[in-house]
């Protein structure tokens, strides 16, 4: 029986539980990652070596890897001192492969082989992507790293984002989307992980063209300055502004509330009522909402040496739950009852 093709689009920490869960099922998995990241270890390597950002791709490779535990642990190891302080071994590994093989995509092919990756990891583009963040007060910030570090974002909010110069999609990424059975956007950060991919010429067009079912995994929480008080429909409206109207078929929504102490810790940082919910006032949507408990009960602590540790989410999706949910959707087409999962 022909294996179904699943393409995920995103970047950052959010893709890790999705890919970790999906690799346990007999699907042909391709993940397409943003190349706009320029913060922390990744930003330093971009500036000093002239390479494409390795961080998001490395996380996806490790999530899909069948390599021994020690090798995957090594890839995630982050140096805490000396000239390599803040760098992960995985980022250095990906950057070295790019240098040795002459291109990021060729380096990724070698990484897939070495790490015994159960699937494929592709860049959305091999261009030098730099993000421009336009705030609601008219100010423009240059660089994706500002999404988590600039006070004016939380003060004024984001109006929209764009690229500093045009970028063309990686050919293999476009082909993967067009030939997919399911295209999954998320989970992760809207402006940092999802939308930069659709600013690349060819990616949004491929998502519109594909006959695949298109799924959005809603984030668990909203983010101050980015998505305050957003409902599911708020996210879909913005996504479709960049992709095209009616391009989302299904939304997976978590309905499990985090433990009180975890939620209070998060609300202290992002504000009250920050959990993502559906808008009860909207009775009919162009997409189907599938609800379940997708929440991880694991406490995600900050790693030493990680320059961006304070910006990373500690309320996350559970790999087993989200993998099972996507598999249910793929096999049964979103038929009720879905919320028993």
Query: Residue 128 is part of which domain span?
Result: 5-332
Phi first, then psi: give them for residue 320, nearest 5 degrees.
-65, -45
pLDDT at 73: 92
DSSP string, 20-68: HHHTTSS-EEEEEE-S---SHHHHHHHHHH-PPP-HHHHHHHHHHB-S-
Residue 195: which CATH number? 3.40.50.10680
**Would 262 be classed as within a structural domain?**
yes
Q: Rounded to an integer, what distance in angstroms lies between the CA atom of residue 264 and that of residue 262?
A: 5
- Count of domains for the chain: 1
**Would 58 be classed as within a structural domain?**
yes
**Would 341 be classed as within a structural domain?**
no
C-beta separation of 6 from 49 below 8 A: no
Strand partners, 252: 217, 290
**Would 246 be classed as within a structural domain?**
yes
Q: Rounded to an integer, what distance in angstroms lies between the CA atom of residue 7 and that of residue 184?
A: 6
Q: Rounded to an integer, what distance in angstroms lies between the CA atom of residue 196 and that of residue 199?
A: 5
**Would 108 be classed as within a structural domain?**
yes
**Would 339 be classed as within a structural domain?**
no
**Would 14 be classed as within a structural domain?**
yes
- State the residue for tokens 């929480």: 221
pLDDT at 341: 38
Q: pTM for this structure? A: 0.91
Mean pLDDT of successive 10-residue stretches along the chain, which has 341 residues: 92 89 96 93 92 95 93 92 93 97 96 95 96 96 89 93 96 98 94 96 97 96 90 95 94 91 78 81 88 83 48 75 94 63 38
**Would 172 be classed as within a structural domain?**
yes
Tokens representing residue 16 in the block: 């890790």
pLDDT at 129: 94
């Amino acid at each position: 029986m022909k294996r179904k093709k699943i393409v995920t689009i995103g970047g950052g920490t959010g893709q890790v539980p999705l890919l970790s869960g999906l690799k346990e099922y007999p699907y042909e998995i391709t993940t397409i990652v943003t190349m706009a990241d320029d913060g922390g270890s990744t930003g330093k390597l971009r500036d000093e070596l002239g390479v494409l950002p390795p961080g998001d791709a490395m996380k996806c490779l490790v999530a899909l890897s069948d390599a021994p535990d020690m090798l995957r642990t090594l890839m995630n190891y982050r140096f805490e001192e000396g000239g390599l302080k803040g760098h992960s071994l995985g980022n250095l590994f990906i950057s070295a492969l790019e240098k040795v093989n002459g291109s990021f995509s060729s380096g990724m092919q070698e990484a897939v082989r070495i790490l015994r990756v159960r699937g494929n990891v592709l860049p959305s583009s091999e261009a030098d992507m730099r993000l421009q963040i336009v705030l609601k007060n008219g100010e423009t910030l240059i660089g994706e790293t500002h999404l988590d570090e600039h006070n004016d974002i939380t003060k004024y909010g984001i109006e929209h984002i764009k690229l500093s110069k045009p970028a063309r999609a990686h050919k293999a990424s476009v082909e993967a989307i067009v030939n997919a059975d399911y295209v999954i956007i998320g989970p992760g950060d809207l402006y940092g992980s999802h939308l930069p991919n659709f600013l690349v010429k060819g990616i949004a067009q491929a998502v519109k063209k594909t006959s695949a079912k298109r799924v959005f995994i809603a984030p668990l929480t909203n983010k101050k300055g980015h998505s305050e008080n957003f409902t599911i429909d708020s996210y879909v409206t913005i996504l479709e502004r960049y992709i095209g109207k009616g391009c989302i078929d299904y939304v997976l929504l978590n309905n499990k509330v985090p433990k009180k102490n975890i939620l209070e810790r998060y609300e202290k940082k992002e504000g009250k009522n920050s959990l993502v919910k559906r808008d009860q006032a909207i009775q009919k949507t162009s997409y189907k909402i599938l609800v379940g408990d997708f929440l991880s009960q694991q406490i995600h602590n900050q790693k030493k040496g990680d320059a961006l540790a304070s910006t990373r989410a500690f309320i996350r999706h559970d790999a087993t739950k989200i993998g099972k949910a996507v598999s249910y959707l793929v096999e049964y087409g979103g038929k009720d009852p879905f919320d028993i999962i």
